[in-house]
Amino acid sequence: MAIFSSIIVLLALIGLSNIINRHLPVVPVPLIQIALGIAITLIPSGVHMTLEPELFFILFVAPLLYNDGKHTPRNELWRLRAPIFLLAVGLVFVTVFLIGYAIHFMIPSIPLPSAFGLAALLSPTDAVAVNALAGRVNLPKSLRHLLEGEALMNDASGLVAFKFAMAAALNGTFSLTKASISFVVIATGGLAVGCVLAFLITGLRAVLRRSGLEDPTLHMLIHMLTPFALYLTGEHLGVSGILAAVAGGVVHAVERDEYDKARARNDEMPDHTWPVILYILNGLVFVILGLQIPVVFSTVFDNPAINSLRVTGYACLIFVMLLLLRFLWTYAFSRGGRLFGSEKLSIKILAMTSLSGVRGAITLAGAFSIPLLLIDGNPFPERNVIIFIATAVILLSLLVASTVLPLLASSSDTGNEAKRTEKERQGQLKMMNAAIQAIHQAASKENEAETSAVLAEYERWFRMLELQKPQLAMKRADEGIIDMRIEAFRIEREAARRMLAQDEISKPQFELFEQSLEQLEQMLAGRRSFWPIIMKKLLNSLLEMLSLRKTKSHAQLGQSDREALRRLKLRACDAVIGTFDKQLDEHRSEERSELISHYHFIKEKLQKPRSPKKDGGDADVQRDLHWVAIQAERVEVQSLYERGEINREIANKLRQFIRNREASILEEG
């Protein structure tokens, strides 16, 4: 029961981290999740979990790297094979020797083999952390692909180097020739095992399909078990399970590309299921990392025999050395050539490459795998210090990259307004296309007329966007028009209060009208007025629960109530139009005209006789289809952001466009 409760708490923390990130976008989700993990351990009855390295690699690293291998562009991996090899293998071993000697020189109490082991743990970048960072920072495409390829490959080289360093620390012997041969065998063997086993699994799925077993649940189960089978088989055969999982992901991507649409239908369920699984696994990695930090830090800060301030300084110095070595290594191999293929390197790109080498949970899991005792029974020298330094470097790499990289990435876009506008337009096109696909999927014989009407509206917006007229296809999402809409709601409320005071409407009718205005405000306001509106909504809900305030729903309204609300909305529209007609603010004349036209359109709809069935079908069914399309747009925007195709600024603009249209549908319906 305790394990189940802990899992529920961890999942809740993952959800909470995304809510916090929505309102504190400057703080990346991984750092929020780490902070929440730390916070929950400080509660006396909170979650306390010991990191089991082997279980961690199987449950988290294998499926995440399998997915990365499946989605990393293969042509980019091949094009960047030389720089990926230089970073994933060359830089790892250079880091092991140079940083290892430096660690031993600074902290002589750490034996040289153990110092090599710590350097080996700090050498690989973490694919999970890199992807989380790339989704937030608008990195250049080639740099993003290089970092993804490096993170896929350098885990194996770093862990192999760590394995031999630990063997030397425990046995006191080391053979460079044996280690080199073993590395080649482990790496190539892992890739070979992953490819062979993945081909066997894809062949099994093909046989099942040909025999008539088209059950999506069965194929989903095979899909979910594949990364674990790849990793465990590789480890059992003594090769790299990590590279086996990566290779299996690449093979699966090739297999999926070769299937035609009819055969790929069985993959729809896994493709819809995997994002949820990956979302949870990614979040758990950082929350669990946060759970370990208080324990790790307490072993150093609570130990009087350890100078905690000096050890912290060593960790900072090691992090700086790692950055400097990565910068110099990249610079050395970019001279006279182009490390990213066709793109010339600047100091800024070199700096971004250096800062993007984020360490993560793999480093910490490896540190926790250091044995407590040597073969002779003595305690492993400075084990707690090694784990502390590894943890501190992880936090420093995340903090520095999250702080400095967005500044470098945003400065590289400065003055390129046309490029940002085009990205925004492309985002709108993809968003609209996702909505159109969702409407097609929701179509049936019963809603044929309504589907045609909604599709016609979306296709009109789509054509406007293709003609480079996004401002005509969607209401602008700038601060000016939103502020005017909020001001218009205030005028509507005043008109409603006057009608209530003159007994032209009842109190329940007024409350229902006010409730609809609050809903519209919540859609339009975004983060700027989120908390005041939410607190007001919670207060209203509390009053209703206490029976101090009861508000009818639209389904409970009679014909007389509906007619009264129609008259109220017409009066409110007149009040808004009259107020804004009198304003002489010339620099906002375009927004004012747009708002007045919007309220004239609402008046025209309200003044027309309402019939359940028109040329476009049932209005309520149309509105339901609009909600389906809007949800598809939201999902597409989040997907574009997570893939790094748009930055946070463009994502927020697209979300505001969606909120504007959502409010218009609700207001006009």
Span 267-318, pLDDT tens digits:
444 455 677 888 888 889 889 989 999 989 999 999 898 999 999 999 999 9
Q: Does domain 2-414 sit in CATH 1.20.1530.20?
A: yes
Average of pLDDT values for 45-64? 84
The four Cα atoms 654, 655, 657, 661 give a dihedral, to 10 degrees, of 140
Q: Which residue has the tokens 């007149």?
A: 574
Taking alpha carbons only, the member of 343, 374, 393 closest to residue 129 is 393
Given a cut of 80, whether residue 467 has pLDDT beyond it is: no
Rounded Cα–Cα distance for residues 140 and 355 (Å): 14
Whether 123 contacts 96, CB under 8 Å? yes
DSSP state of 451: H
Phi then psi for residue 414, to 5 deg, are -60, 135
**Structure-token match 């992901």, residue found:** 249
H/E segment holding residue 617:
strand 617-618
Residue 320 has pLDDT above 80, yes or no: yes
Three-class secondary structure of residue 628 per DSSP = helix
pLDDT of residue 190 exceeding 90, the answer is yes
* pLDDT one-digit tens code per residue, 384-435: 999 999 999 999 999 998 888 877 766 555 445 667 777 788 888 888 888 8
Q: Among the listed ranges 10-14, 308-312, 372-376, which one has the minimum average pLDDT value?
A: 372-376
Place of tokens 């409603």: 496
pLDDT at 485: 81
Of 164-173, 227-236, 415-424, which range is least confident?
Answer: 415-424
pLDDT above 60: residue 339? no
Closest CA to 322 of 132, 85, 92: 92
* Report for 62-66, 197-201, 275-279: range of highest mean pLDDT: 197-201
Rounded Cα distance between 620 and 641, Å, is: 32
Q: Chain-wide mean pLDDT for the chain? A: 80
d(CA 321, CA 583): 62
Which is higher by pLDDT, 185 or 465?
185
Q: Are strands 613-614 and 617-618 parallel, antiparallel or unpaired?
A: antiparallel
The confidence score (pLDDT) of residue 471 equals 46
- State the amino acid at position 418 in one-letter form: A
The CA-CA-CA angle for residues 91, 94, 97, to 5°, reads 150
Q: Write the DSSP assignment of 532-563 as a string of letters.
A: HHHHHHHHHHHHHHTTS-----GGG--HHHHH
Of 378-392, 440-454, 485-499, highest mean pLDDT: 378-392
Interhelix angle 241-258/216-236, rounded to 10 degrees, is 150
Amino acid identity for residue 335 in this structure: R
pTM of the predicted protein model: 0.71
Least trusted range by pLDDT, from 362-376, 561-575, 576-590, 624-638:
576-590
Among residues 563, 572, 628, the alpha carbon closest in space to that of 598 is found at: 572
The pLDDT score that the predictor gives to residue 475 is 44
Give the pLDDT of residue 468: 52
Which helix (H) or strand (E) segment holds residue 498: the answer is: helix 479-501
Q: Above 70 in pLDDT, residue 342?
A: no
658 contacts 637 by C-beta, under 8 angstroms: yes
The C-alpha atoms of residue 402 and residue 131 are separated, in whole angstroms, by 12
Bridge-partner residues for 618, per DSSP?
Answer: 613
pLDDT at 121 over 90: yes
Query: In whole angstroms, how large is the CA radius of gyration of the chain?
Result: 30
Instruction: Give percent of the chain above pLDDT 90.
Output: 23
pLDDT confidence band for 266 (50 / 70 / 90): very low
All structural domains of the chain with their residue ranges:
2-414, 419-668
Question: What's the rounded Cα separation, in Å, for the pair 296 and 294?
Answer: 6
Per-residue pLDDT tens for 81-108?
888 888 888 999 999 999 999 999 999 9
What's the CA angle centered on 626, arms 623 and 627, to 5 degrees? 95
Q: How far apart are CA 258 and CA 241, in angstroms?
A: 26
- Amino acid 134: pLDDT: 61
Backbone angles phi, psi at 380, to 5 degrees: -65, 125
β-sheet bridge partners, residue 613: 618
Q: What pLDDT is stored for residue 316 in this prediction?
A: 97
| Helices vs. strands in the chain: H and E counts, helices first | 29, 2
Answer for the pair 306, 384: CB distance below 8 angstroms, yes or no. yes
Contacts of 351 (CB under 8 A, 6+ apart): 327, 408
